[in-house]
Amino acid sequence: TRHGVRRQRQMCIRDRSDPSFLNDLASFYSAEKRYQDALPLFERVVQLAPDFVEGAYNLATCHLNLNQYERAIPALLKISKQAPDLLPAAFNLGVAYNRLGKHREALPWLRRAYPLANENPAINVELARCYFDLKDFGQSREHFSRLKPIDIDASIAEEMAKANYLSGDTQCALTILAENIAGKRGEVDNLRLLQADIYINIGQTDAAAEALELILDDTTNELYPAAANLAARIGFANGDKLRDNMEHRLVNGPVGREDEIKLRFGLAQLEDRSGGYAKAQGHYQIANDLQASRAVYDRQTLERTVSQLVRLSEYKDNVESKLASQPTPQPVFVLGMPRSGTSLIAQILNAHEAIRNAGELGYFSTLSVAIGGLLSLEETYPACIPMLNLEQLEKIKKPYLDLLKKHGGDANYVIDKFPENFLHIGLIKRLFPNALLVHVCRDPRDVALSIYFQNFSEGNAYCWRLTDIAHYYVQYERVMRAWSDYPSTNLFNVGYSDVVKNMESITRELLEKLSLPWDAECLQYYRAESDVRTASHWQVRQPIYQHAINRWKNYPEFTEEFCRELEIQRRRFGLPEVY
């Protein structure tokens, strides 16, 4: 009661030197979710009794409830030393690190708290999320699977489905979504959206359209922009109505920055498909400008890295000859600029019975950031590559081979289709000197516009400005020209337009490079069972088409802006000005 609270305050004034009393009063405020009132009292408790573990723990918990994770961590670390058996403190420490994006720091603390998981399902949830953010989708899936049905709401069901999907079990992901969607509507629209995206990925566009329709019925739905964007990408049956509704939402709202970006990219795709290139250009311009306003593309850092990579191409030693030269399965690296056709090549090869496509593993990009700490190196990446000894090379090679086996099963070859692996050729060749590098080339003008027309979900800070795309393209050219000068690189160049015009001939050459027999199924690549989790997943589910060639001609203003910067950058680095 109010009278009781006033009395407690009066007592508090009288008993400010009693840490036990202050702790109880602060705990009362915390139970009422009055954390701002509780905080100074808990701070006073710790000041009066530094060794009072319960008070210190309550203070740290109060910081967590106020989202003050940086302030909670030192207190929790101290508590964990004072009382190592206090597992809730270990759990909260893992939560704090997780919220700050420090997932590797979070993991050991969450593991320490795991004995509490039977009584606290939040521990499995937190571990699942931590593993997911570390891109260990198999472990994430495992921890989600330990939850009881009563512990799973729509939000957790969405995360569970994503973990299963990204770990390779598409059917399980769809089952989770279907079970949690059944009999419900608005509160599970997030699940419907994910369901539609997965259906698109596996080529079931009718099922995707059915899932999207329930969201598209209401243009005021908060998920309408995302659903409309998906529908526009796959060519929704009623395109005119979709365009009208998207324009209505854009004008009448509600629409924030993210919604406007999705709507404009979707509208641009609809206009492009119907030949309305002028309108499409307007939408693409605004959408990219909105994205660019918050993106930072560091040209100088990339240039320095590429200069080191170019010098690295001239380095040779005999360390790699001591490594196992024929791992099973063997990696095949499909690389090049994003939107150059790498997904298409990977899917064609995946149709062969001896090859599996693991998709965009991203192992070497992640490793390039962590390698210094992992191996206690003094030199930064990529300058450290020539200095790696046999033991260090084996240490970073084994996890990658395990990853290949996980995705490849009994296949002879596993494709790592990560376009930006061109930035890691130096490390790849030290680990796998005999590996085939399939370099997919495409007209830079088509590449540039395809990037500019794609609403990438993360990363790729260069892709929102045509001038930045031109700069990045020239850095890519610098790397590839350097490695192309060395026959031992085992580099096979594939022209996107050549594949479109003569797919069988190119495919036969690729298979000969891998010493594999011809498999006619490669010509039916769009029917192959493989999840393509990239921006190109819809395109590679269709028979090969030619309308993506010379698409730049429909957008002369964009093309001129890109080409102008491309010539400037090529002159800077002494590259020939040819297409």
Contact (CB, 8 A) for 125 and 114:
no
- Closest by CA to 137, choosing from 125, 128, 124, is 128
How far apart are alpha carbons 316 and 54 in whole angstroms?
60
Q: Exposed, middle or buried: residue 439 (CB in 10 Å: 0-12, 13-18, 19+)?
A: buried
pLDDT at residue number 319: 46
For 488, which DSSP code?
Answer: G
SS3 513: helix
Q: Residue 217: which of 186, 187, 256, 195 has the closest Cα? A: 186
Q: Specify the pLDDT at position 538.
A: 45
3-state secondary structure of 130: helix
- pTM exceeding 0.85: no
Angle at 539 between CA 538 and CA 542, to 5 degrees: 100
C-beta atoms surrounding 369 within 10 Å:
10
pLDDT at 544: 56
Burial class (CB in 10 A: 0-12, 13-18, 19+), 311: middle
Alpha carbon distance 484, 439 (integer Å) = 10
Residues 40, 326: Cα–Cα separation, whole Å: 64
Kindly state the DSSP code that residue 376 receives in the 8-state scheme: T
Question: What is the pLDDT at residue 328?
Answer: 77
CA distance 554 to 551: 6
Per-residue pLDDT of 163-183, as tens digits, reads 999 888 899 999 999 999 985
- What pLDDT sits at residue 122? 94
pLDDT at res. 322: 52
515-520, Cβ contacts within 8 angstroms, sequence gap of 24 or more: 516/352, 516/354, 516/355, 516/412, 516/413, 519/351, 519/352, 519/353, 519/354
CA 391 to chain centre: 30
Ranges of residues in the chain with a pLDDT under 70 are 1-16, 183-186, 237, 315-326, 458-459, 487, 528-547, 578-579
pLDDT value, residue 317: 55
Q: Is residue 200 a contact partner of residue 226, using CB atoms and an 8 Å limit? A: no
What distance in Å separates the CA atoms of residue 553 and residue 556, rounded to the nearest whole number? 6
What local confidence, expressed as pLDDT, does residue 13 receive?
A: 47
Q: What interhelical angle do 466-484 and 444-452 show, nearest 10? A: 140
Query: What is residue 545's predicted lDDT score, i.e. its pLDDT?
Result: 56
Q: For residues 188 and 180, what is the distance between their CA atoms, to the nearest angstrom?
A: 8
